[in-house]
Amino acid sequence: MPTPHNAAKPGEIAETVLMPGDPLRARFIAETYLESAREYNSVRGMLGYTGLYKGRRVSVQGGGMGIPSMGIYAWELFAFYDVETIIRVGTAGGLSDGVAMGDVILALSASTDSNFQSGMGLRGHAAPSADFGLLERAASAARGLGFGFKAGHVLSTDVFYSAPGAYDSWRAIGALAVEMETTGLYLTAAKAGKKAVAILTVSDHLYAGGSAPPEERERGYTRMMEIALETAVNEGSD
């Protein structure tokens, strides 16, 4: 049923949803890769589409910026629209010397400086992780496409314009990159008993320098999109 943030009717959203933060990236994926794509949502400009990829129904929808926004859209998809799997396709800032501009990262787990988990009644410090089977499928899809990737720990932060040195300690313990949504997705999936994985592209590097322009962030990074789509169509198959 429609929610305050999603006008989709029952049955209009597939069981597997790709979720970029940018709704224009969602539209780009739908127009570029999906057959017979139909828009099911434009509330608050958060575009959502369902179409066919290699004969299988797949949806793609924007999730917005930050953990709270991701938490809203992911929960509504899981709880009200019978979505089983969300695959985040987003950008991240490189922290590790082992990643470079344009690299694809599969997020095994996501630390955070957010207080999001306390609103879920969790005491202590949660360590949300990707669904392992889904992550395996993403890795297999990347290899099948001939794309390299890095898999590891990322940081989800609440602050885009951070203070100098804010990520030095995270970098020191091996965080590959910093972004703003994966913790929210993984915790929400865990709460709902559903599956999630984040596939990220390094759009800038906080230590080595360099930053991608807005158009490249919206329309580029097709490797992570194709990995996500291949993961989606193989989800549930053994």
**Residue 126 to residue 174: CA distance in whole angstroms:** 18
Residues 6+ apart with CB under 8 A from 96: 152, 171, 174, 175, 176, 177
Name the pairing type of β-strands 177-179 and 150-156: parallel
Tokens representing residue 106 in the block: 């599969």
CB 79 within 8 A of CB 72: no
Q: Is 7 exposed, middle or buried (0-12, 13-18, 19+ CB in 10 A)?
A: middle
Strand partners, 211: 204
Phi-psi region of 40 (alpha: psi -120 to 50; beta: other; left: phi over 0): alpha
82 half-sphere exposure, CB direction, 13 A CA radius: 9
Query: If DSSP codes are grouped into helix, strand and coil, which group holds residue 234?
Result: helix
Query: If DSSP codes are grouped into helix, strand and coil, which group holds residue 166?
Result: coil
Strand partners, 229: none
Residues known to be catalytic? 204
**Residue 5 to residue 21: CA distance in whole angstroms:** 15
